[in-house]
Amino acid sequence: MSSISGKLPIWFWVIASIALLWNALGVMAFVMQVSMSPEALAALPEAERALYETFPVWALMAFAAAVFGGTIGSLFLLLRKALAYPVFIISLVGIIIQMFYNFFIAETMDVYGPGSAIMPLMVLAFGVFLVWFSKSAKQKKWL
């Protein structure tokens, strides 16, 4: 599709909309984690509760950068703003830092099992995809 006409392929809007919904779910997960009540925390199994209680501020900030960056980047995609690309890079850096913490420092797979790697790997793959997609859209002058 030509950028001269200003008309984008429908799949661009589908991907941008899915990205917004996906990242909004991430924001909800972040809010649920930071607003967990003491009662809800106490109800968790001991190993899982220990993960929440020892979660460092820098990993929490990476989580925030990942989900809020992804959501803002998705909004920029929908608004056709070139800022989507650098914001998605920030989000991806947040994802990588958070995943590094979860897998190599906190060793969350010891608590949740090997199946717990599926969702984080999907998050990482989608983060990489959104960086690539926004860069491609910027190069095509869609943003």
pLDDT one-digit tens code per residue, 67-109: 999 999 999 999 999 999 999 999 999 999 999 998 888 888 7
Q: Judge contact between 136 and 11, C-beta under 8 A.
A: no
| pLDDT over threshold 80, residue 1 | no
Maximum distance among all alpha carbons in the chain?
59
Residues 6+ apart with CB under 8 A from 132: none
How many C-alpha atoms does 95 have within 13 Å on its Cβ side? 27
Residue type, 136: S
State residue 67's pLDDT score.
Answer: 98
Tokens 């919904």 label which residue?
A: 21
pLDDT digits over 41-74, tens only? 899 989 889 888 889 999 999 999 999 999 999 9
Task: Kindly report the pTM of this predicted structure.
Answer: 0.89
- According to DSSP, residue 115 is labeled G
Dihedral pair phi/psi, residue 79, rounded to 5°? -90, 0
Q: Specify whether the CB–CB gap between 68 and 39 falls below 8 A.
A: no
